[in-house]
Amino acid sequence: MIAFLLLIQGIFSVYLFMLNIIPAFAQSPASEDLECDEHGDCYRDELDPDKPHIISPRRSVILSDRPLVRWYAVEGETRYIVKIQGPNQLTWEQETSEPFILYDGPELVRGQTYRIEVSTYNGNHQDQTSFIWLTSATEQQINTAIAELDQTLSPLQKTLAIVEIYKAERLFNDAIDLLEAHLAEFGKTTAIDDSLSDLYRQIGLNQQTRWDQEQQP
């Protein structure tokens, strides 16, 4: 009986979490000029070079409560304004000359939706998106799933297996980071390239916006 009640409680918790996450991500593309195919995958076919397109976190659940916010640099722009807004009147705003900045504001709340806005210093061009810091229960499930992976897997097989675990929980940006790290260490493969292409479509970008490893701090 206790096990049954715990099961019901777990299902209800997941239901409440999905009520929060689905509307958040469903609303993100509405303000973006995206191309969508017959399968419902949406992405930018061409980038507006004057717009600081946010790369991460973007339409994703994230592992860290201190995300590195990254965007596509705009030629000729030397200053950007980054703003993160969330529940409880949280507003964090910073200026930077780099196309990235580490969030160092108030502690985030698990399971809550946060909005990111990056704009050029003159305010003429901006991009917006959202992210959610995953719940403790989901983090524990992910860690358990990774720990249970076959220890005889090759580095490529293990990377792809973890990526699938991440994708199941909408950890798209963390999956991209993992694939990019594998790419930097082991070189390009068709499987890695295909997986990256799929993930960039998931977050509404195409592969033109792949993070340049040499720029990463």
Omega cis (within 30) before 87: no
One-letter amino acid of 70: R
* Residue 3 resides in a domain: no
**59 Rama class: left (phi>0) / alpha (psi -120 to 50) / beta:** left
Q: Are residues 48 and 111 in the same domain?
A: yes
Structure tokens at 115: 């909005």
Domain boundary among 91, 108, 133: 133
- What residue numbers bound the domain in which 87 lies? 10-133
Query: What do you get for the CA distance between the two ends of the chain, in Å?
Result: 52
Q: Are residues 69 and 152 in the same domain?
A: no
* Residue 214 resides in a domain: no
Q: Are residues 173 and 103 in the same domain?
A: no
Q: Are residues 49 and 118 in the same domain?
A: yes
Supply the pLDDT for residue 148.
97
Q: Are residues 191 and 124 in the same domain?
A: no
Q: Are residues 144 and 109 in the same domain?
A: no
Helix (H, G, I), strand (E, B) or coil at 123: coil
Q: What is the pLDDT along the chain (217 residues), one digit of tens a residue?
A: 444 444 444 444 444 444 444 444 444 433 444 555 443 444 444 668 889 999 999 999 999 999 999 999 999 999 999 999 998 777 899 999 999 999 999 999 999 999 999 999 988 899 999 999 999 999 999 999 999 999 999 999 999 999 999 999 999 999 999 999 999 999 999 999 999 999 998 998 865 445 443 344 4
Supply the pLDDT for residue 205.
84
Give the count of domains, the chain. Answer: 2
Q: Are residues 19 and 126 in the same domain?
A: yes
